[in-house]
Structure 1
């Protein structure tokens, strides 16, 4: 067989181009977070510069970012847990009892842009005096997290064999008992996948928190706007704040990627 050297060279070059295109903005953001505003504007100091931690000191001490980190963690965690509590049993019911109309409604909720509902949400929640609190942020995040959980778990339950549940029913368990004792323990990879993706969405969400949060409930993506002024932009502080937002979720995705892939592929095949 003829060696496939041209194809291998093309594949390596294509992968290198993609990696550089994806990593270059991230590396520039991290490097800029250690520069002063003067060094950021100086193209001669793109690679060689004197690093400083003043931007991170400003972010963590003077800008109340510790509070905003806590807000993001609380909203993402609460929205994810509530979405799993409601979405996993709903996905099981739709999968096992052929509730296709309900599944279509969930699919429509996935298709509808969440930003199109911000004005009605703001009108309704402002009339009941909920705008600016954590409750409205958690509910708004669940609008996307809950359909995401149901969508992932339906595919996962569809791929699980029915024989195990039928054997449990023969042994005297109810459908709820079979779900709780047999199906749910086997569905842990899918639950973990749905939970991780839901948490990542809530952590990165910007538009919902921008409109519905208050001064004390701002999340990290919204708090970045504090470094954008009317006449100037604090690029060093902005890049440090963006790094604080980005790196934790990237590390989480890096460590749990194999579980996400295994959960998605397990739900993509039928037993």
Structure 2
């Protein structure tokens, strides 16, 4: 290995460390806050690891009367929005890729990068007129604004890289377009499906703005529940950090266990569609 290559690798690792270290530091500090008593959280100079761990912070959060309800709400909203996005987005991505509908792909990209707040006000008025405010349906529907463009855009890029020869052979054997899509295209696109599913789950689970506007007292999701723990009278950093860590943990574990699929899917789809 030449000196230039060694310097290049060192520079790359330094750049990665600079980019990643703030996120790691913030996560470790949040974990530290979650296992400390309030007197340790308010200590100066700051204490990173206390002598006695305050596991009571986690117990208090999990024992909360509404935590289980909010957790179930998050599962229902995220699960339903992701499932509907996959049912709609995967066939749409396949159709756009095979028809080379580049203008449609640009429209999907614009919908993806448009801030969700742009849709929030008109949809809020619509849900209010329909009498759906305070239920889970407005959150599920508006989460589709986020998840569907993600799925379509990823699948467009992935289907554009899959070989057409196999599909053409299936057509010659008498298969219909639906049979080709179901039996030929989908099995090849499994890495792309995994990436689309995981990213849709992450963006839906972490969404905060839609939930705080459209949710009622019994239909809040976990990010909104954590926000509601902030009080002007008293702010308990330990339980707040514990709740934030619990909300982050499912997505974090999903990302860690599926990192290979994410990298493989994004790399494959980036050749033409990225």
| TM-score normalised by length of structure 2 | 0.92
Per the TM alignment, residue 47 of structure 1 is displaced from its structure 2 partner at its CA by 2.7
Is contact 2:78-2:205 (8 Å) kept? yes
1:187 aligned to 2:189?
yes
**In the TM superposition, what is the alpha-carbon distance from 1:79 to its structure 2 partner?**
0.6
- Structure 1 contact 33–55 (Cα < 8 Å) conserved: yes
1:205-249 CA distances to partner (integer Å, 9 max, x unpaired)?
Answer: 000111111111111100012221132212111101111011221
Query: What is the 5 A alignment of 1:196-207?
Result: 196-207=198-209
Q: Which residue number in structure 1 is paired with residue 268 of structure 2?
A: 266
Match of 2:32 in 1: 31
Q: Give unmatched runs, 5+ long, in structure 2.
A: none
Contact persistence 2:57–2:238 (CA under 8 A)? yes
Question: Which deviations, in whole Å up to 9, do the C-alpha atoms of 1:234-269 show, x marking residues without a partner?
Answer: 211110111101122111101101101101111223
User: Cα 1:79–1:234, aligned 2, differ >3 Å: closer, same or farther?
Assistant: same
Structure 1 residues 138 and 22 mapped into 2: Cα distance closer, same or farther (>3 Å)? same
Match of residue 68, structure 2, among 66, 69, 78: 66
Cα distance in 2 for residues equivalent to 1:182 and 1:164: 7
The 10-residue stretch of structure 1 (20-29 or 5-14) with the greater mean CA deviation from structure 2? 5-14
User: What is the count of residue pairs matched by the alignment?
Assistant: 270
For the aligned residues, what is the CA RMSD? Answer: 1.9
TM-score for both structures, normalised by structure 1: 0.93
Alpha-carbon distance change, 172 to 75 in structure 1, aligned in 2, over 3 angstroms: same
Determine the structure 2 residue equivalent to 1:112. Answer: 114
Identify unmatched segments of 5+ residues in structure 1. Answer: none
